[in-house]
């Protein structure tokens, strides 16, 4: 696993937007039978069809596996100068017994393909939406600019509510195993893009903890302001540890922050 803890961290492109000016991206939404999940070579046979007609694959998404449910994939290929092959490829893929359904999607403007082949997006079985940086930056900064110090408090208390909910979700996964709970939380917060979270020290008996976050999505909005800047994520930690310590009053102090030039954000919880 690659892990970069810097301003230029690796980023995994998500979503179904492909922008290739002067090209002809076409999306193939393919639904496999539930039995195809554990059948070796099924995806390869589909990809071989694209190779057969000399169309390059430029994007490929496969849904998270669920036993007993269809597996979904969205494959984008460039058919420039081979537009006549699209229907041929589609019909050939449909012939495989492991395929339930195939749909094709086309760019609406000069190589820009922005289609969602399903009605909604989901993550870990729950509906989700994607907040790109312009959107969450506008949300976080607008709350603070409109309400001033009160805006910071609003973000913090919103974070507390989310942190409490996150704890409940993570506890359901981990059961009573606290060590597993910490790993679940670290992995899931990274998976949704909040940052790389490390529990550097956790003392449940004394109700104290030290948490470090690399690539904090919130504080990177405030680089070079010269002071700790986390409100929303700080609130998430407060809400999470309120549940973990089973204590209503938990303080979270950001002692290091990328907004003031540190290499990471660090929080003392007590």
Average pLDDT for 133-140:
96
The three-state (H, E, C) secondary structure of the chain, written as one string? CCCCCCCCCCCCCCCCEEECCCCCEEEEEEEECHHHHHCCCHHHHHHHHHHHCCCCEEEEEECCCCCCCCEEEEEEEECCCCHHHHHHHHHHHHCCCCEEEEEEECCCECCEEECCCCCCEEECCEEECCCCHHHHHHHHHHHHHHHCHHHHHHHHHHHHHHHHHHHHHHHHHHCCCHHHHHHHHHHHHHHCCCCEEEEEEEECCCCEEEEEEECCCCHHHHCCCCCCCCCHHHHHHHHHHHHHHCCCCCCEEEEECHHHCCCCEEEEEC
The chain-wide mean pLDDT, for the chain, equals 95
Please write the tens of the pLDDT for every residue from 77-120: 999 999 999 999 999 999 999 999 999 999 999 999 999 899 99
pLDDT band at 15 (very low <50, low <70, confident <90, very high): confident
- Indicate the fold that domain 133-269 takes in CATH: Muramoyl-pentapeptide Carboxypeptidase; domain 2 (3.30.1380)
What is the domain partition of the chain in residue ranges? 17-128, 133-269
Mean pLDDT of 47-67: 96
210 vs 11, residue with greater confidence: 210
pLDDT value of position 28: 98
CATH 2.60.40.10 applies to domain 17-128: no
Quote the pTM value.
Answer: 0.86
């Amino acid at each position: 696993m690659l892990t970069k803890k810097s301003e230029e961290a690796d980023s995994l492109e998500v979503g179904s937007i492909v922008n290739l000016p002067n090209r002809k991206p076409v999306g193939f939404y393919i639904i496999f039978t539930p039995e195809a999940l554990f059948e070796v070579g099924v995806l390869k046979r589909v990809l071989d069809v694209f190779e057969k007609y000399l169309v390059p694959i430029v994007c490929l998404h496969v849904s998270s596996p669920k036993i007993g449910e269809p597996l979904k994939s969205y494959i984008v290929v460039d058919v420039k100068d081979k537009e006549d092959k699209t229907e041929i490829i589609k019909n050939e893929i449909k012939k495989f017994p492991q395929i339930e359904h195939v749909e094709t999607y086309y760019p609406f403007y000069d190589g820009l393909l922005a289609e969602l082949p399903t009605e909604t997006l989901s993550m870990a079985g729950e509906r989700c939406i994607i907040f790109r940086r312009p959107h969450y930056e506008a949300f976080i900064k607008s709350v603070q600019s409109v309400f001033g110090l009160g805006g910071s408090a609003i973000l913090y208390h919103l974070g507390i509510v989310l942190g409490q909910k996150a704890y409940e979700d993570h506890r359901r996964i981990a059961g009573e195993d606290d060590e597993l709970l910490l790993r679940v939380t670290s992995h899931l917060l990274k998976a949704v893009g909040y940052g790389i979270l490390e529990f550097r020290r956790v003392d449940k008996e004394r109700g104290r903890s030290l948490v470090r976050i690399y690539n904090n999505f919130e504080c990177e909005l405030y680089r070079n302001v010269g002071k700790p800047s986390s409100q929303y994520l700080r609130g998430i930690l407060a809400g999470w540890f309120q549940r973990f310590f089973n204590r209503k009053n938990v303080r979270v102090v950001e002692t290091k922050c990328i907004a003031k030039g540190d290499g990471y954000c660090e929080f003392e919880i007590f």
